[in-house]
Chains A and B, each alone.
Chain A
Amino acid sequence: MGLRVGLEVHRQLDTRHKLFCECPTILSTKPPTLTLERRLRPTQSELGQVDPAALFEFNKGRAINYEADPETACLVELDEEPPHQLDPEAVDIALTISLLLHARPMDEVHVMRKVVIDGSNTTGFQRTAIISLNGKLDVDRKEIPIQQISLEEDAGRKTGENKNTVIFRLDRLGVPLIEIATGPVIKDAQEAGRVALAIGQVLRATKKVKRGLGSIRQDLNVSIEEGALIEIKGVQELDLVSKAVELEVQRQTSLLQIRDELRSRKVKPADLKEDFHELTPLVSRSESKIVQSALKLGGTVQGVKLPGFGGLLKRELMPGIRLGTEIAKRAAYWGRVAGVFHSDELPGYGIGQAEVGAVAKKLECGPSDAFVIIADYKENVLDGLKAVVERAREAIAGVPEETRTANPDGTTYYMRPRPGAARMYPETDVPPVQISSDRIRQIGDNLPRMPEDIAREIGSKYEISPKLAAQLVNSEYLDTFGEIAAIGKDIAPSFVATVLTESMRSLARDQVPVENLDDTHLKEVFRLVAEGKTAKESVLEILKWLATHPTANAASAVDQLNLGMIGRAELKGVISKVLESHRSLVQANGAKALGKMMNLVMAEVRGRADPKLVTELLRTELEPDRG
């Protein structure tokens, strides 16, 4: 199959300041105090050219709204003040990561501008700087080349969007990101996941990266033999890397099958013509809401025939994504249209059998043909239909090169064409930074330890199994574990480690929002266990409650859930009830029934009693002579 994958891992750095100003690197939870409207306007470059992508965005005519507040943004984010110097703390972290990955740092770091035209940067570009080159990382005894390590500024955070406006919050703009790019040497989906994990471990070893949803973004470059190089942007979770690769392989393989079928049907690119037909009179009385609203706004409905495509538009490429979906997304992008229908999904969406028949007749479609119709303003419809024809022609060639965006389930959709030459030019407002050999030596002498060494050490220090120790190091909770283990001998490290790894994972699987649990929550819960105020058995239930009530504390969770330890008097009551209901067993076995009764009592109180006290009270009951 010839699969080749390259990874680009992006992670936010946990620095005091943003990359080019002194704002903090936190996201605001408060409403914005300032909103500005701006528009993107393409201008000629020094070479007299207008960037076609910028022009295209401009033609969409959308306004960009920026929301800001004084705590998380200053004039630099608004592009009203030039960038300050490159944040030295971020450079140090990037150099640390570079040395851990055996990459060669630059003598001088130059900040560049990369054109970004979606409005997510107030400047119209993203600042980026290469820190080092040519590193390597061993993953399962294979050497993965690290081509480049860079620092970048994160973009504004999209908080809303409609046809005319897109809204970005400026708190995230300028947060430092480290970008690590591997060579395209990864040969299967699972390996892609392992490489992403290994890079994540190196990053975490610095203890200077942010964690949690939104702090990590992985881009994947995926190609298969005879397919095309596809860039997948924004895979947010590590677990999704291998899934996204698998699905992309499936998509490209399916597209190649469709290509073969089109070739065997002898369909030629020239058969696909930009021959658009007015269909408004044929569908003007349909029940389709999209058609009706387009017509009400003075729009039109037009269609195009796709000869030889009969039955192919409903071919599934990935779960829920058909060739028809791909074509519709392409039309939506280039034509700014939403109302795209193809013959394989009709009748449907309020368009009836009779209307479909009339459209097919008008477009002269036979049983082996397909058609696509679009309802919108005429100009948009024409742009959309042109994109449909172009995408259909590409289906005959196989897989078109594209940049795609990842969905949370690992499927992807068309984002934009792959950029041609890199749109990069120097950032002249920020002076280059010299990297002295002294600085590198100092960082090299103080490198953080790698995960496998830490796992070995905590394994022996706390007497936990190597597997559990490795899981802990891979988890987000290594530091938290250390702090909890320091509470003292009343809490078993292996129990803490199990809760922080396996239990947290199973809670997450059950859709419990464990990301709401902070270190304080976790420490409080284990402290209550250590102090005998709640039972080990109650920990999961408490954590589950705290995850959905993150402003509460552990003690109030214990109260709310009634999980406090049972006092002596209440325990005596439970014991006599248990003994009463098993009277014959107790009479027959006497003191030998202790173990069995113990289990029954502990089950009855769900662990909320000190086992020593239970044993003591049971003994008194079962062996009255001893008392």
Chain B
Amino acid sequence: MSKYCYDSIRNAVKNDVPIFMTSQTIWGRVDMNVYVTGRDLLNLGVVPLEDMIPETALVKLMWVLGQTRSIDKVHGLMLQPIAGEITERTAITEAA
């Protein structure tokens, strides 16, 4: 993500537009603390979605926005596991 996007992101967050980060990998988890860009985005208000895959995240967000328009509730619901789409541990059996 290039720095020229930062202003747009900042603007979106200011206007209560939810912005999430997912990983393109099938197994694995977003960790935004490891690189500078990740930390910048965290500071801008981007919310990492742990190990949820992007396609699921998109569909889930459509559903969530049908439930609530409160930005805090949107964030909360996106991070709350509903059907195994997000887990706190990445199991070793998947890696092996």
Q: Residues of A with Cβ closer than 8 Å to B?
A: 21-23, 33-34, 68-70, 73-76, 78, 80-82, 84-85, 428-431
Contact = CB atoms under 8 A, between A and B. Distances in A.
Interface in B17-36: 28-29, 31, 33-34
Contacts of B31: 81-82, 84, 429
A81 B90 contact: yes
A569 B88 CA distance: 63
Nearest to B50: A84
Given A81-B29, A82-B33, A429-B33, A74 B91 contact: yes
Contacts of B95: 75, 78, 80
A70 B93 CA distance: 6
Nearest to A85: B33
Size category, B interface: 10 to 19
B62 interface: no
A81 B28 contact: yes
B89 interface: yes
A113 B82 CA distance: 36
A428 to B, nearest CB: 8
B69 interface: no
B89 A74 contact: yes
A73 B39 CA distance: 27
Contacts of A33: 92-93, 96
Interface of B: 28-29, 31, 33-34, 39, 88-93, 95-96
14 contacts: A33-B93, A34-B93, A34-B96, A68-B92, A69-B92, A70-B91, A70-B93, A74-B91, A80-B95, A81-B29, A81-B90, A85-B33, A430-B33, A431-B33
A243 B36 CA distance: 51
Given A34-B96, A80-B95, A81-B29, A75 B34 contact: no
A78 B93 CA distance: 12
Best-surrounded residue of A22, A75, A82, A429 (most CB of chain B within 10 A): A75
B33 A22 contact: no
Given A21-B89, A76-B90, A429-B34, 19 more contacts: A22-B88, A33-B92, A33-B93, A69-B92, A70-B91, A70-B92, A73-B92, A74-B92, A75-B95, A78-B92, A81-B28, A81-B90, A82-B31, A82-B33, A82-B34, A85-B33, A430-B33, A431-B33, A431-B39
Point out which of B29, B89, B93 has the most chain A C-beta atoms below 10 A from its C-beta: B89
B28 to A, nearest CB: 7
B49 to A, nearest CB: 14
A428 B34 CA distance: 7
Which residue, B89, B90, B92, B93, has most C-beta atoms of chain A within 10 A?
B92
Nearest to A72: B92
Contacts of B33: 82, 85, 429-431
Q: Which of A21, A34, A81, A85 is packed against the most chain B CB atoms within 10 Å?
A: A81
A82 B88 CA distance: 13
A379 to B, nearest CB: 37
A70 B96 CA distance: 11
Nearest to A170: B92
Nearest to A77: B92
Nearest to B89: A74
Nearest to B36: A428
Contacts of A68: 92
Nearest to A73: B92
A34 B34 contact: no
Contact of B89 (A23, A69, A430, A431): A23
Nearest to A82: B31
A259 to B, nearest CB: 53
Contacts of A21: 89
B89 A22 contact: yes
Contacts of A429: 31, 33-34
Contacts of B91: 70, 74-75
B22 to A, nearest CB: 15
B61 to A, nearest CB: 23
Nearest to A34: B96
A23 B91 CA distance: 10
A472 to B, nearest CB: 39
Contacts of A85: 33
Contacts of B34: 82, 428-429
Contacts of A73: 92
Nearest to B90: A75
A80 B92 CA distance: 9
Most buried by A among B28, B31, B39: B31
A431 B34 CA distance: 9
B80 to A, nearest CB: 15
A69 B89 CA distance: 13
Nearest to A75: B90
Contacts of A82: 31, 33-34
A84 B50 CA distance: 10
Contacts of A75: 28-29, 90-92, 95
Given A82-B34, A429-B33, A430-B33, A74 B90 contact: yes
A17 to B, nearest CB: 9
